[in-house]
């Protein structure tokens, strides 16, 4: 399970958490290793084995990406195409081609900007440390710069347990504060557009749904879950002209009820973020995956240990 593949220059300005980022150079080494040592399946081959109960060939694997970041097209796709590696990308349809970011990146950008403003201008403290009511933010903004990324990661992990309305309210207050200190974050298109997706779809890349809005499905009612599942699938099918049969749970969160809704919505498989390997006897709507990110897999021995389950 991949998310982002970035160049060295892009990484210096990347607002995403480290746990979803791999450098282009490391990704290339990993793909060359896979194509030489593993049987890399297409999505259709994977589904066929599950539905027809065909035993996977030894060392079979499936390469997937969540979210639909623009760097999947710019950095990962040329390497996948060169090596003939099939892959599946799960896109969040509300973000395709739009100048929008996920809330995690939005809040990270705002916090970095406010921290920099606080360090460079003592007068800013009257807006931040005196008037701003959120004690967690005040503590975070006073931490040392070299600890800021770690502190923001902890703050985001905490927010994942909050309701969407509360998260958006916190971002709204931060954005107002950022405007006051002239450190607002300009949102830009970080996700692929439909033209890029169509090019990839014609050249060995499969596409599935990652929901409509990237909302965590376990916090939604049945009608909202059905809307996320159906509207996203219908739009991808309309744009690409091919059936969409796979889904990836945002944040990896699912339940038995959600799995059943996806089955009734026409999906044949659904992918979680549960760590591990998948066999033909496992539940097709609870496919386990192994998340790959830079710090745990930056060389091939570590990568191999990770994908074979040693850590």
Domain ranges of the chain: 4-100+189-307, 103-180
CB atoms within 10 A of CB 172: 10
HSE on the CB side for 149, CA within 13 Å?
Answer: 9
Sequence-distant (6+) residues with CB within 8 A of 2 are 22, 27, 63, 64, 65, 66, 76, 292
Enter the tokens of residue 173: 């207050």
Enter the tokens of residue 209: 């749904």
Tens of pLDDT, residues 177-190: 887 776 656 556 79
Cα of 83 vs its chain's centroid, Å: 23
What integer is the mean pLDDT of 193-206? Answer: 97
CATH match for 4-100+189-307 among 1.10.1760.20, 2.170.150.20, 3.20.20.370, 3.40.980.10:
3.20.20.370
- Quick one: pLDDT at residue 186? 57
Q: Where are the alpha helices (DSSP H) in 77-186?
A: 77-83, 103-120, 125, 135-141, 148-159, 164-180
- Quick one: pLDDT at residue 133? 65
- Quick one: pLDDT at residue 119? 76
Cα 65 from Cα 289, distance rounded (Å): 11
- Answer for the pair 197, 207: CB distance below 8 angstroms, yes or no: yes
Tens of pLDDT, residues 136-177: 888 888 888 889 989 999 999 999 888 888 999 989 988 888
Q: Nearest 10 degrees: CA dihedral of 235, 160, 291, 85? A: 20
DSSP-assigned beta bridge partners for residue 69: 191
Across the beta sheet with 287-289, the strand order is: 64-67, 87-91, 205-209, 246-248, 269-275, 287-289
Q: Where are the alpha helices (DSSP H) in 52-102?
A: 70-71, 77-83
Give the containing element (helix H, strand E) for 209. Answer: strand 205-209
Q: Which pLDDT band holds residue 116 (cuts at 50, 70, 90)?
A: confident
Buried b (16+ CB within 10 A) or exposed e, 190-207: bbbebebbeebbeeebbb
Tens of pLDDT, residues 11-32: 888 899 999 999 999 999 999 9
Cα 20 from Cα 271, distance rounded (Å): 16
Enter the tokens of residue 126: 């009257």
Average pLDDT, the chain: 91
């Amino acid at each position: 399970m991949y998310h982002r593949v970035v160049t060295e220059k892009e990484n210096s300005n990347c607002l995403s958490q480290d746990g979803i980022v791999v450098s282009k150079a490391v990704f290339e080494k990993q793909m060359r290793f896979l194509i030489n040592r593993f049987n890399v399946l297409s999505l259709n081959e994977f589904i066929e084995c599950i539905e027809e109960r065909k035993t996977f060939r030894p060392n079979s694997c499936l390469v997937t990406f969540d979210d639909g970041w623009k760097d999947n097209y710019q950095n990962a796709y040329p390497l996948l195409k060169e090596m003939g590696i099939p892959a599946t990308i799960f896109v969040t349809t509300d973000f395709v081609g739009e100048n929008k970011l996920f809330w995690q990146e939005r809040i990270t950008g705002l916090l970095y900007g406010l921290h920099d403003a606080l360090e460079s201008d003592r007068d800013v403290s009257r807006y931040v440390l005196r008037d701003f009511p959120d004690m967690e933010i005040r503590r975070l903004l006073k931490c040392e710069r070299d600890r800021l990324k770690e502190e923001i990661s902890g703050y985001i992990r905490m927010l994942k347990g909050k309701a969407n309305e509360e998260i958006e309210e916190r971002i709204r207050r931060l954005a107002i504060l950022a405007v006051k200190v002239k450190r607002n974050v300009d949102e830009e298109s970080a996700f692929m557009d439909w033209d890029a997706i169509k090019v990839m779809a014609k050249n060995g890349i499969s596409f599935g749904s990652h929901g409509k809005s990237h909302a965590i499905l376990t916090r939604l009612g049945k009608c909202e879950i059905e809307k996320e599942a159906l509207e996203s699938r219908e739009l991808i099918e309309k744009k690409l002209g091919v059936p969409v049969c796979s889904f990836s749970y945002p944040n990896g969160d699912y339940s038995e009820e959600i799995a059943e809704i996806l089955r009734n919505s026409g999906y044949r498989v659904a992918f979680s973020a549960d760590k591990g390997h998948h066999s033909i006897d496992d539940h097709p709507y609870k496919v386990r995956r192994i998340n790959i990110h830079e710090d745990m897999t930056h060389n091939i021995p570590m990568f191999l240990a990770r994908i074979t389950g040693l850590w």
